[in-house]
Amino acid sequence: MEPARPWPLAEPARPGPEQWDEAGEFKAQVRAHYDRLAFGRDRWYRRNAAYHAYLERALQALVPAGRSVLELGCATGSLLAALRPARGLGIDLSPAMAELARRAHPQLAFQVQDAETFDAGGTFDFILASDLVGELLDIAAMLERVQAHCHDGTRLILTFHNPALEGLLRVAQRAGLTMPPARQNWIGPSDLAGMLELADFAVESARTGLLLPALLPRLSRIADGPLSRAPGLSYANVVNLVLARPLRPRPRVWPLSCTVVVPCRNEVLNVEAVVSRMPSMGTHTEILFVDGASSDGTCERIDEVRRRVRGIRDVRLIHQVPSPASAPNPAALAPSAPESPVAMLRLGKGDAVRKGFEAARGDVLMILDADLTVPPEDLPRFFDAIASGKAEFVNGTRLVYPMEERAMKFVNYLGNKLFSSLFTWLLGQRIRDTLCGTKALRREDYARISAGRASFGDFDPFGDFDLLFGAARLGLRIVDVPVRYRRRRAGVSKVRVVRHGLLLLAMSAVAFRRFKLARWSRAWR
């Protein structure tokens, strides 16, 4: 089926007051951090001479002299000057850094702008962001701005630290061996490749270099050269370097509507924010609350908000468990109903998601947890990935950007890491965060997943593995989209670590039998 005509992507997210305050506060902290370090920048440069010399050599090999070059996060301009551009523009958030760069390199131009919102006034042959993606609040926003400054021959160069060395690099920063960043996203090459593809870039090459001893005195000579490319030792390289080119034209976008399913139980304080902060996506956006027998007035608040926004927003409410008055057979809801742990968990979030998807009217189905630990403002990127055909199943990942303090308990973090590694192996597709509640897929693909559910069972308490299993079984293309994970502002978490963890292990055993054992048995025949 061909689309009748191109259709616009989701409207850009408009952060609510809380997000504006957070972004503004974060940018102010970053600016103050680098203003404070600016006059010692050259000292850090000399202290890490091997590291900066490596970057200069690697980039000079990719960027011929005499071209137009834009550097984002240029600091005092030393790297941009080393590339000898005919037209060079450096952009940095720190006014002190930009002023020092102007004094040191008067032949180049430097501006104080934010890499996530900048306007450089034209296109460039090369756009460089060295050690920048690890410090951004929103990497995708930066890539969208870069697209606006590309011509067909533009090349984007990104360098960033190896996330496998996170612990050692943190020790080096605290010991004063390297300049401390304002913050650090520990993003890997595969994560960045996925984000580049979603932003309409194609990766031309990706490589690593510079062994860890480059950060240690008197050992830098062994950090570069053939040794850094040796099998096994390359995992200890500090630098990742990715070269990408823009894709033209953007893929056509299907004219799709969407339904955002919001499972909720006792979330009365979050209802207003869910509706007011929800972006408009596609041809129509439906917000569908699925209430799980709330006792705090959640349903009444949803009804009140729905009446108030009628004609402006499409808000619906369905009940996960019918009330006795509305049930066709009230006796079916008698206290004699099963109360085993598995039976009770079937009425948890996973059941709410399934009932919401069945009742949804939109073409694209999305999940948003009512606790708002994932901001609604992040949802347009999920919709766009589906609507543009770049993904068939979009899975949110909370493990790229730093989490807000107290957003996730340490034991939950370890569990996420464990199940992510386990499911990447089981499903044969990289899954960075299996337990993130925010997901998106087409309605017809969900119908196919639902039809094959019997092969896995329906005892997933959250619905995450149920959807991932089904998507993998159907061979859908699963794409991770990073989200900014917040701590809960109101209400109480429904997660029970031990009970739910045991059920997730049981589901892992089912996946092992269905995927790995079945594949191995076919190979042995």
- The Cα 49–Cα 216 span in angstroms is 11
Q: What is the pLDDT of residues 244-293, one digit of tens each?
A: 999 976 666 678 999 999 999 999 999 999 999 999 999 999 999 999 98
Query: Is pLDDT of 218 > 70?
Result: no
Cβ pair 272, 303 in contact under 8 A: no
Instruction: Decide if pLDDT at 404 tops 80.
Output: no
What is the model's pTM?
Answer: 0.77
Q: Give mean pLDDT, residues 159-171.
A: 82
73-100 confidence digits (pLDDT tens): 999 999 999 999 999 999 999 999 999 9
- pLDDT, residue 178, reads 77
Domains of the chain, residue spans: 28-246, 258-329+338-523
Q: What is the pLDDT of residue 47?
A: 79
Q: Is the pLDDT of residue 332 over 70?
A: no
What is the Cα–Cα distance from 104 to 362, expressed in whole angstroms? 57
Mean model confidence pLDDT for the chain: 80
Kind of pairing between the strands at 478-482 and 364-367 = unpaired
Distances (CA, A) of 519 to 35, 157, 477, 515: 57, 40, 19, 6
Query: In angstroms, rounded to a whole number, what is the distance separating the alpha carbons of residues 479 and 62?
Result: 29
- Would you identify the CATH topology of the domain 258-329+338-523? Spore Coat Polysaccharide Biosynthesis Protein SpsA; Chain A (3.90.550)
Residue 306's pLDDT is what? 95
Q: Do domains 28-246 and 258-329+338-523 have the same CATH topology?
A: no
Burial of residue 231 (number of CB atoms within 10 Å: 0-12, 13-18, 19+) = exposed
Contact 462, 346 (CB under 8 A): no
pLDDT of 462 strictly over 80: no
Give the model's pLDDT for residue 43.
80
Average pLDDT of span 415-433: 69
Angle at 220 between CA 214 and CA 223, to 5 degrees: 70
Assign domain 28-246 to a CATH class: alpha beta
Average pLDDT over residues 381-387: 93
What is the pLDDT confidence band of residue 188, given thresholds at 50, 70 and 90? Answer: confident
Q: Name the band, by pLDDT with cuts 50, 70 and 90, for residue 169.
A: confident
Confidence of residue 459 (pLDDT cuts 50, 70, 90): low
